[in-house]
C-alpha cells in the first residue's frame, strides 16, 4: 500500500464549488446520481425481513445467508444538474445526492473532463480502463474491494480510508450478498423543485438478482456477535487523503471511505482505474473467494 502524499497538483478542479460545477455544465445537463438516506451510507447489510416478499424470492447461487441483504441507499435517478447542485448546497427539493462513480465521467459528467489533466504519472506503467467521479457531501462508502488497480485523487475536501489487506477476506466474506435497491420518489405539492419532498421505500421490486462477494458481511463499526471475533482480527489501517493528494489502492484491498466536504459543502474525488495485474475469475455460483485473496497469498 502506498500513499503519494507528496503529490500536489495545480488542477483547476482543486477550486471546484457546487456553484462552479453548475457554471461548467451545459444548460440542459441531466446527471445520474444516487439519493442517500440521512445516515449518508451508500450500502449496508440489513435484515431481509424489511423487504416485502424477500422470503419468497428465488434463491441465488452463492448466497449463504438468505436472512440478510445488501441494501443500496436508492436506485440512481436522473435530475437536472441544477437540482443536484441544490442538494449539495443543502437546499430543499431532493435528499442528499451522490455522484458515485459507475462510469459517470463518460456520461453524466463528461463536461468536467477538460478540468482534469489526466491520471498521475505512476499510472503510465498500468493498463488504463476509465476515470470515475465522486461528487457529494458527507458520505460513507461501506467496506468493499474493487477488481481494479486504483489511483484515487482527492480534489476538494478530504476522505478517510479505513483499509484492510486482501488477506483479511476470510474474516469479511460469508457467501454472496443479494443486492436490494431502495427507491426514492418525489411527493408533496407546490410548484418548483424547492417545494417538493420525497420518501424512500423498500419494495419487492427492489430485490435484485445480483449477488456480490466484494462487500463485508457485517457492519465494521458495529459487528453482530457472530462476527465479533472476525472483526477483532482485521488488520486495519486508516489513511486520510486531502485535496491534491493521491492514494494508490491496489486490486482487492478492502476500503471503507468517509467523506468530509470543504467549506463550500462539496467533496470531490476522481479515480483512475487500471486493469489488475491479476484477474479474478470465478463462477457466480461460488460462495467463497478464490485463493488469490487468501492470507497466504496476500501478505
Is the pLDDT assigned to residue 255 strictly greater than 70?
yes
Please tell me the predicted confidence (pLDDT) of residue 9. Answer: 47
Mean pLDDT of 279-286: 56
The percent of residues in the chain predicted with pLDDT above 90, rounded, is 67
Neighbours of 232 (CB within 10 A): 9
Where are the strands (E) in the chain, listed by range?
2-4, 30-35, 43-47, 68-72, 77-80, 97-100, 128-136, 140-144, 149-156, 158-164, 177-181, 183-187, 197-201, 207-212, 237-242, 246-249, 254-260, 267-274
User: Model's pTM, two decimal places?
Assistant: 0.86
39-43, 56-60, 106-110, 259-263: the lowest-pLDDT one: 106-110
- Residue 297 pLDDT level (bands cut at 50, 70, 90): very low
Strand partners, 212: 177
Please tell me the predicted confidence (pLDDT) of residue 282. Answer: 57
Give residue for cell 452463492. 62
Please tell me the predicted confidence (pLDDT) of residue 182. Answer: 96
Rounded to the nearest 5 degrees, what angle is found at the Cα of 100, between the Cα atoms of 8 and 10? 15
The percent of residues in the chain predicted with pLDDT above 70, rounded, is 85
Please tell me the predicted confidence (pLDDT) of residue 93. Answer: 78
Mean pLDDT of 36-48: 95
- Residue 299 pLDDT level (bands cut at 50, 70, 90): very low
Average pLDDT, the chain: 87
Is the pLDDT assigned to residue 24 strictly greater than 70?
yes
Q: Give the model confidence (pLDDT) of 112-170 as tens digits.
A: 988 887 766 677 777 788 889 999 999 999 999 998 899 999 999 999 999 999 999 99
Which alpha helices (H) appear in the chain, and where do they start and end? Answer: 18-24, 81-88, 228-232, 295-298
All domains in the chain, ordered by first residue:
2-277+288-298 (2.60.120.10)
Amino acid at each position: 500500500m502506498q500513499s503519494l502524499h507528496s503529490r500536489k497538483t495545480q488542477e483547476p478542479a482543486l477550486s471546484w464549488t457546487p456553484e462552479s460545477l453548475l457554471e461548467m455544465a451545459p444548460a440542459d445537463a441531466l446527471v445520474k446520481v444516487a439519493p442517500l438516506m440521512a445516515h449518508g451510507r451508500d450500502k449496508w447489510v440489513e435484515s431481509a425481513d424489511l423487504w416485502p416478499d424477500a422470503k419468497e424470492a428465488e434463491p441465488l447461487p452463492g448466497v449463504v445467508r438468505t436472512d440478510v441483504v445488501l441494501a443500496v441507499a436508492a436506485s440512481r435517478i436522473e435530475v437536472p444538474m441544477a437540482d443536484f447542485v441544490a442538494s449539495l448546497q443543502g437546499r430543499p427539493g431532493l435528499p442528499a445526492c451522490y455522484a458515485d462513480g459507475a462510469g459517470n465521467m463518460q456520461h453524466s459528467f463528461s463536461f468536467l473532463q477538460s478540468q482534469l489533466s489526466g491520471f498521475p504519472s505512476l499510472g503510465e506503467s498500468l493498463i488504463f480502463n476509465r476515470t470515475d467521479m465522486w461528487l457529494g457531501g458527507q458520505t460513507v462508502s461501506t467496506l468493499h474491494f474493487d477488481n481494479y488497480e486504483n489511483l484515487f485523487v482527492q480534489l476538494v475536501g478530504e476522505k478517510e480510508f479505513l483499509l484492510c489487506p486482501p488477506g483479511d477476506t476470510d474474516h469479511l466474506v460469508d457467501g454472496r450478498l443479494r443486492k436490494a435497491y431502495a427507491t426514492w420518489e418525489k411527493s408533496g405539492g407546490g410548484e418548483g423543485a424547492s417545494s417538493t419532498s420525497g420518501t424512500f421505500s423498500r419494495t419487492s421490486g427492489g430485490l435484485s438478482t445480483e449477488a456480490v462477494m466484494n462487500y463485508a458481511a457485517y457492519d465494521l463499526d458495529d459487528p453482530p456477535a457472530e462476527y465479533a471475533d472476525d472483526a477483532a482480527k482485521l488488520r486495519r489501517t486508516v489513511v486520510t487523503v486531502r485535496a491534491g493528494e493521491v492514494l494508490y489502492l491496489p486490486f482487492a484491498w478492502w476500503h471503507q471511505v468517509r467523506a468530509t466536504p470543504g467549506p463550500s459543502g462539496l467533496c470531490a474525488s476522481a479515480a483512475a482505474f487500471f486493469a489488475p495485474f491479476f484477474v479474478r475469475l470465478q463462477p457466480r455460483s461460488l460462495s467463497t473467494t478464490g485463493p488469490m485473496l487468501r492470507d497466504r497469498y496476500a501478505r
